[in-house]
Amino acid sequence: MKIFYTALLNPDSEKITLDAEESQHAVKVLRCYEGENITLLNGKGLVAEAKISKPNPKACEINIQKIEEQPAPAAKIHIALANLKKRDRVEWFIEKSVELGAAAVIVFKADHTEKLQIDAERCKKIAISALKQSGNAWLPDFHIYTSLKMLLAENDIKNKFIAHCETDQTQLLKHAYPKSENALVLIGPEGDFSANEIKLALESNCIPVNLGPLRLRAETAALTALLTLQVVNM
């Protein structure tokens, strides 16, 4: 069944008009027709069975048949990746993080990264597209920080982990993480975290961890960390 996103969906909704972009996609791209059954997501846990009543490409009208609320995951996993040189790699990380059920997706400027230039609106569109692709009922929070210091100052999650390459005397993330608890995992850029950043993270009670014997690209490491914790919580 075709899936669409609308922030307008609430528990009392009976009729909804999709915004211009979703309407265009529904009518012109996917060729939705009057009376077709679809699914609506609001990114906050609501999933609706619905039917297209007026397939207008500028304002597609929808009749709501049934609404269910899916509970949020008990353990909220926040995954943070330092900005990378290539934008498409960061966007891939965002897309896959949504598909894998991250509670928050974070991009930050590290000491060894290029100037932070992130198009937040574009990233949101990528996240919504991934939400619809996966059928995930929960759209992750998306944050951009100009430094690791700011990121740590604004996130008071108890279980914080940093994966860095300065030493191999660290434990595996899957062994360090307490099952079913909220967590924040920090992944550095191509040049790894600086010594000052590692010191700051440790002083902020981050636990140093590793993701196994393979040398992973930064965005792959971030997804590996997220998937590791999701599997532990199954």
Q: Give CA angle at 98 (5, 122), nearest 5°.
A: 65
Residues 129-140 have pLDDT tens digits of 999 999 999 999
DSSP secondary structure string for all residues of the chain:
--EEE-TT--TT-SEEE--HHHHHIIIIIS---TT-EEEEE-SBSEEEEEEEEE--SSS-EEEEEEEEEPPPPSS-EEEEEE--SSHHHHHHHHHHHHHTT-SEEEEE--TTS------HHHHHHHHHHHHHHHT-SBPPEEEEESSHHHHHHT---SEEEEE-SS-S--EEHHHHSPTTS-EEEEE--TT---HHHHHHHHHTTEEEEE--SS---HHHHHHHHHHHHHHHT-
Cβ–Cβ < 8 Å for 42, 9: yes
Instruction: Decide if pLDDT at 218 tops 80.
Output: yes
Rounded to the nearest integer, the mean pLDDT of the chain is 93
Q: At residue 176, does pLDDT exceed 90?
A: yes
Angle at 226 between CA 182 and CA 73, to 5 degrees: 45
pLDDT for 226 equals: 97
CATH topology (fold) of 77-232: Alpha/beta knot (3.40.1280)
Q: Model confidence over 108-123: pLDDT tens digits?
A: 999 988 777 788 899 9
Share of the chain above pLDDT 70, in %: 99
Residue predicted with more confidence, 165 or 216: 216
Considering only residues 120 and 50, tell me which one the structure prediction assigns the higher pLDDT: 50
CATH class, domain 3-69, is: mainly beta
Q: With cut-offs at 50, 70 and 90, classify the pLDDT of residue 165.
A: confident
Sequence ranges of the domains in the chain? 3-69, 77-232
Residue 42 pLDDT exceeds 90: yes
156 CB-contact burial (10 Å; exposed 0-12 / middle 13-18 / buried 19+): exposed
Mean pLDDT of 220-225: 96
Instruction: Supply the pTM of this predicted model.
Output: 0.91
Mean pLDDT of 199-204: 95
Q: Tell me, what's the pLDDT at 89?
A: 92
